[in-house]
Amino acid sequence: MADNKAQTLKIREFPVEENPEHTYLNAEKGIWSWLFTVDHKRIGLLYLFSITLFFFVGGLLALLLRTELLTPAQSIIDADTYNQIFTLHGAIMIFLFIIPSIPAALGNFFLPMMIGAKDVAFPRLNLASWWIYIFGALFALYSIITGAVDTGWTFYTPYSTQTGTSVVSMTFAVFILGFSSILTGINFIVTLHKLRSPGLSWSRMPLFLWSLYATAIIQILATPILAITVLLLAMERILGIGIFDPTMGGDPVLYQHFFWFYSHPAVYIMIVPAFGIISELISTFSRKTIFGYWAIALSSLAIAFIGFLVWGHHMFVSGQSELSSVVFSFLTFFVGVPTGIKIFNWVATMYKGSIDLKTPMLYALSFLFLFTIGGLTGIMIGALSVNVHLHDTYYIVAHFHYVMMGGTVIALLGGLHYWWPKMTGRMYNELWGRITCGIIFVSFNMTFLPQFIMGSQGMPRRYFNYVDQFQGLHQFSTIGSYILGLGFMIMLVYLVWSLFYGPKASSNPWKARSLEWMASSPPAHHNFEYTPVILHGPYDHHQPIREFHMGVAKEADEQTTEAERETT
């Protein structure tokens, strides 16, 4: 041991303090104590705040797009502006919102708590990752001011090397944001490997952490390719290196390989953490052990791996060889297997459970419904022959919104409500929570279900006008999107309201079994003032809560050693 002072290690129970006086929220004061904090919980909240901001920015842009689509001809913005706005909407939603969303916000907050650690392995790197993210966001802002980008979030060559808009600064922003994502990934992997508390074996790790682990693996294996891709793209624009430029003998299809080698795995960076949240919610609100723990845990890893083999399903009509199209289509179906395993296990968990339809559970059920649609349509467009017809239509737009919004965003909302009492120490209003969930569920389907129909009838993606035939469906979709926007505003209001006026939360309002609920709400500065020793699995609802963990603490000298370490 590091300090061999005379100490006795005692193992005993540590009763949770209800409504503690000293929490991470009041441990330090002032704006600087937030901006330069190394506390994973505060960094998680910084991220939560940032992604919320960008979600609303991206959402406003989306409403602008939908408004333009109210009429078949030009309504409020011209074609070029439309191109810029959907690019910004896509780029903001992908790079600034959804990639960091669940891992960097909720993951940062709860990963160390769920394994009984005081922090992530590299707290300063964690802070750096947030600052790098902000820096990347500023770069993106800069490129918006200096001419925006109109290439779509995919930056396909050769158009991206020819357009007059600020592609270089936007790709730089993406490069920087990728770096931030990598740092989060490294931190999570090391933390999970090295900082688990005694008794918290891999088989007792909450499934949310398994999903974050799989996500982190994708982040570190895929993101570097994004970095080199945008670097090559920037060089192509600045110097004209000709690697992707057909006029110089280069190959634009190669660009697409590079881009999708990152971006297909990246869609699993977006969705796999959502799977993790759903596992937590369904078990907790069914009061039942999760069905098929290992199947769910390992299927996350399987998805992470298979996700690297299928990128070419985005390129069926790009001119890649027939052979590779066939192979990619074939491999794509395999992703459905582990994903299906998860869905069946969740449903089996609910079977004969005592289901409690609290707001988080409502989101989990919405997820099951919406993600299943998103996932199954994904299998359909993964079929080569079907894809050739549906490529670049609204069918695709509907598909990925069902996955990203119906899947990830809905799971994020579920997780947000689930952990809100733990993070803030306050309860949100349950009635408003349920009503809002209903509004979002209905209006989401209003917005995107018609797009499947339009797409299958040939409405192309990324167009600001359309033939009259589609007007009814487009208007229906736009009205849906307004209601959706309204739903989010209501949520913002009641969540902020709860911060000030919500009833105080108890330490474990949902009677959950994983370790973060064994700390006070809100948690203390160091999460646990002792080293937890874990005695049961995270879903053992048949065991009484107080038997779940004990604590080891150095009974003597605790204060002094803490203080000594702080000063070094």
Partner 1 sequence: MSTHHISTLSTLLSVAGALLALTFLTVAVTWFNIPEPFNVIVAIAIAIVKAAAVAMFFMNLYWDDRFNTIVFLLSILFLVIFVGITLLDTLFRDAGLPVY
Partner 2 sequence: MGNHSVATGKKSHLQHHFVDEDQQFESSKFGMWIFLVTEVLMFGGLFVAYIIYRSWHPDLFYMAAQELDVALGATNTVVLIGSSLTIALAIRAIQLDKIKAGINYLVATIGLAATFMIIKYFEYMDKFGKGIYPGSAYSYDGIGHDMAVNFFSIYYMMTGLHGIHVVIGIGLIGWMTIKAKKGLIHSGYYTPVENTGLFWHLVDIIWIFLFPLLYLID
CB closer to partner 2, 189 vs 281: 189
Rule CB under 6 A: is residue 177 a binding residue for ligand HEM?
no
Nearest alpha carbon to residue 113 among 411, 417, 507: 507
Rule CB under 8 A: is residue 533 a binding residue for partner 2?
no
Rule CB under 6 A: is residue 412 a binding residue for ligand HEM?
no
Task: Return d(Cα 307, Cα 237) in angstroms, integer.
Answer: 30
Task: Return d(Cα 124, Cα 192) in angstroms, integer.
Answer: 17
State in angstroms the smallest separation of the CB of 408 from partner 1: 24
State in angstroms the smallest separation of the CB of 109 from ligand HEM: 20
Name 443's Cβ contacts closer than 8 Å, sequence gap at least 6.
480, 481, 483, 484, 486, 487
Region label for 524, one of left (φ > 0), alpha (ψ between -120 and 50) or beta (otherwise): beta
Rule CB under 6 A: is residue 474 a binding residue for ligand HEM?
no
Other CB atoms within 10 Å distance of the CB of residue 201? 10
State in angstroms the smallest separation of the CB of 228 from partner 1: 11
404 secondary structure, DSSP code: I
Count, residues near ligand HEM per rule CB under 6 A: 24
Yes or no: say if 157 and 229 are a contact pair by the CB < 8 Å rule: no
Count, residues near Cu ion per rule CB under 5 A: 1
Tokens (6 digits) for 478: 């736009």
Q: What sign does the CA torsion over 203, 375, 189, 507 have?
A: negative
In the set 16, 254, 301, 341, which binds partner 1 (CB under 8 A)?
254
360-399 footprint of partner 2 as x/- string (CB under 8 A): ----------------------------------------
User: Which residue matches tokens 């005694």?
Assistant: 198
Q: Bridge-partner residues for 549, per DSSP?
A: 534
123-152 footprint of partner 2 as x/- string (CB under 8 A): x-x---------------------------
Report how far Cα 501 is from the mean position of its chain's Cα atoms.
Answer: 29
Peptide bond into 522 cis (omega under 30): yes
74 secondary structure, DSSP code: -
Report how far Cα 476 is from the mean position of its chain's Cα atoms.
Answer: 28
Yes or no: say if 465 and 394 are a contact pair by the CB < 8 Å rule: no
Positions 182 through 211 that interact with partner 1 (CB under 8 A): 193
Binding window for Cu ion (CB under 5 A); candidates: 65-73, 264-272, 456-464, 546-554: 264-272
In the set 264, 399, 401, 541, which binds Cu ion (CB under 5 A)?
264
Rule CB under 6 A: is residue 204 a binding residue for ligand HEM?
no
State in angstroms the smallest separation of the CB of 416 from ligand HEM: 14
In the set 248, 317, 467, 489, which binds partner 2 (CB under 8 A)?
248
Q: What sign does the CA torsion over 501, 504, 509, 514 have?
A: positive
CA angle 97, 125, 56 (to 5 degrees): 15
249-288 footprint of partner 2 as x/- string (CB under 8 A): xxx--x---x------------------------------
Rule CB under 8 A: is residue 323 a binding residue for partner 1?
yes
State in angstroms the smallest separation of the CB of 530 from ligand HEM: 40
In the set 327, 348, 376, 453, which binds partner 1 (CB under 8 A)?
327
Rule CB under 6 A: is residue 358 a binding residue for ligand HEM?
no
Rule CB under 6 A: is residue 461 a binding residue for ligand HEM?
yes
Rule CB under 8 A: is residue 8 a binding residue for partner 2?
no
Positions 299 through 328 that interact with ligand HEM (CB under 6 A): none
420-459 footprint of ligand HEM as x/- string (CB under 6 A): ---------------------------x------------
Nearest alpha carbon to residue 428 among 361, 512, 357, 496: 496
Rule CB under 8 A: is residue 74 a binding residue for partner 1?
no
Rule CB under 8 A: is residue 307 a binding residue for partner 1?
no
264 binds, among ligand HEM, Cu ion, partner 2, none (CB under 5 to 8 A by kind): Cu ion
In the set 16, 25, 134, 241, which binds partner 2 (CB under 8 A)?
241
Task: Return d(Cα 553, Cα 532) in angstroms, integer.
Answer: 9
CB closer to partner 2, 125 vs 331: 125
In the set 67, 71, 154, 320, which binds partner 1 (CB under 8 A)?
320
Q: Helix 252-286 to helix 207-238 angle, to the nearest 10 degrees?
A: 160
Give long-range contacts, CB 8 A cutoff, 24+ apart: 18-22. Answer: 18/506, 18/507, 18/520, 19/425, 19/504, 19/520, 19/521, 20/520, 20/522, 20/524, 22/524, 22/525
Task: Return d(Cα 109, Cα 277) in angstroms, integer.
Answer: 13
Binding site for partner 2 (CB under 8 A): 1-4, 112, 117-123, 125, 182, 185-187, 189-190, 193-195, 220-221, 223-225, 227-229, 231-232, 235, 238-243, 248-251, 254, 258, 526, 531, 562, 565-566, 568
Binding site for ligand HEM (CB under 6 A): 59, 62, 65-66, 86-87, 89-90, 93-94, 97-98, 152-153, 397, 401, 404-405, 409, 447, 461-462, 481, 484
